[in-house]
Amino acid sequence: MDDRVGFMPWERGENAFDDERRGALIDRCGAQFAEGCYVAPGAKVFTRSLKMGAQSYIAAGALVRGDVAMGANCSVNPYACISGRVTMGDGVRVASLVTIVGFNHRFDDPDRAITGQGVTSEGIVIGDDVWIGANAVIVDGVTVGDHAVIGAGAVVTRDVPPYGVVAGNPARVLRDRRDPARRSAPESLSSALKAFSDRAAAEWPAVLAGNVAEVDGSPAYVDRQRGKPTSRAWADAIEIAAAFGGLPALRGRDELVTMLQGWQDAQTGLFPDPWTPGDGEARYGLLSRGYALECLGAKPLHVVHCIETLPADDLVEQLNALPWATRAWGGGAWIDAFGTGLYLNMKYFGARRGLETLLGWMAAHVDRATGLWGSATPDGGLLQPVNGFYRATRGTYAQFGIPLPLPEVTIDTVLRHARAYGNFRTTHITACNLLDIVHPLWLCLRQSDYRRGEIRDLMAALLADALGRWVGGEGLAFDPGRTPPGLQGTEMWLSIIYLMADILDLAGQVAWRPRGVHRLEPALVP
């Protein structure tokens, strides 16, 4: 009977843990026991400190050593091994033959024996209500979120999200226990989105009309927040109208096409801004003016020569020279423009040069640890590479319908960045910085269900906040609270709201669909 209880402690009686053995563990192992704990006679306990919450047990054959803390109602089953610094929440189930090791041997110096290099210990943290299947291994430094399930035989080398079900070697997330495909967004959020959509559909013409000024003796679209004419303002007006199935009121379709085509430089194929000169504006013109032409059912007049004639070696040299270490956003923006120029050349002029070189460089240079291109800033911030990821992938992987190289790693990084900024739930939030987390997550979820439930929860909170930002008859501000509503802010926020609604399966409530720069569909599958 003693053996039976030792190996199946759930059958123990109230007094199964005798006072003598309890006292010995307190004296020898630094143990602290809450009510109803049980350590089987055959368990091997050699801890510096051991804390066991109420109704927790350690079965016969288990090895527990180091500094171990267990919450209430935890079970360590026969022949499990727990070593080092390990902390468990409440309700953790550790199956037989599981290995949880909260330390690691140093082996940096190949000329010294590993036994002489010491150990490191980051510790392992396991949340509440976690089931760890037989023969699983969890290595030092891992955090396992609440309500997770670790499959039998899994080797867990990185953090497990709350509600994640993981398996394999190395372990990867298979799904979210909350089954996000079946969970609907709150009815209140759905109703709020429908009301916002109705208002935007009714007021977008007024938004465009409120961003008009006299320029060179005739009315032109300007962005209220910038207060000056730009060719981007015209493109934003066209894209907003196209999203709702309409046209801007100032000029007819043919006049708009003639104007946009007239802004393209015949020698380079770029679209310099007549009012704001500069290489950056000329490159961005490929996006804003090129896609605005597509919204009007038209196309550029000229091939983008500066892309079509660029040799492969020069392209690689230029990509290597981009400021990935200091300003990854700028690197991503350059790739976005280059990829868009490739797309326009391929679709309208039959050109093929450069795509394989560009995608090959990106595949070779993606950071395997983050899924991004470029480096964090010296303070550890990920704003630059995350923003750069959006721009780089929008113009390449998303534009050409090609799978991302590391979607799950990217999700981890983008969510870590979102947490660092308080999930952007602040009074100061720009459309750019929010789009640069929403679009990457939306794009990654088209390939993987990894952390989908967590992402949906984040999107629900962000969407609820965004729906309150519309200003009657004026639209949305790029930087709410700091700039007035304008065309750029309205176009970008409408795209962001659509993407969040799509992640939440609420896009059917929306009266518009992003067109142009922020369209959802791949433009061309090579």
List, by residue number, the catalytic residues: 105
* Cβ contacts of 508 within 8 Å, gap of 6 or more: none
Query: Residue 46, SS3?
Result: strand
Q: Is 7 left (phi over 0), alpha (psi -120 to 50) or beta?
A: alpha
Residues 101 and 84 sit within 8 Å (Cβ to Cβ): yes
Q: How far apart are CA 161 and CA 149, in angstroms?
A: 10
- The stretches of 268-311 forming alpha helices (DSSP H) are 279-295, 305-308
**Joined tokens for residue 75:** 């079970």
- Let me know if 164 is exposed, middle or buried by CB neighbors in 10 A (0-12, 13-18, 19+): buried
* Cβ contacts of 78 within 8 Å, gap of 6 or more: 7, 59, 60, 61, 62, 96
CA-based end-to-end distance of the chain: 70
What ranges make up the beta strands (E) of 171-237? 172-176, 212-215, 218-223, 228-229
Q: How far apart are CA 400 and CA 523, in angstroms?
A: 6
C-alpha dihedral, 214 to 219 to 224 to 226, nearest 10°: -60
- The stretches of 297-421 forming alpha helices (DSSP H) are 305-308, 312-321, 328-349, 355-365, 383-393, 399-400, 407-420
- Let me know if 109 is exposed, middle or buried by CB neighbors in 10 A (0-12, 13-18, 19+): exposed
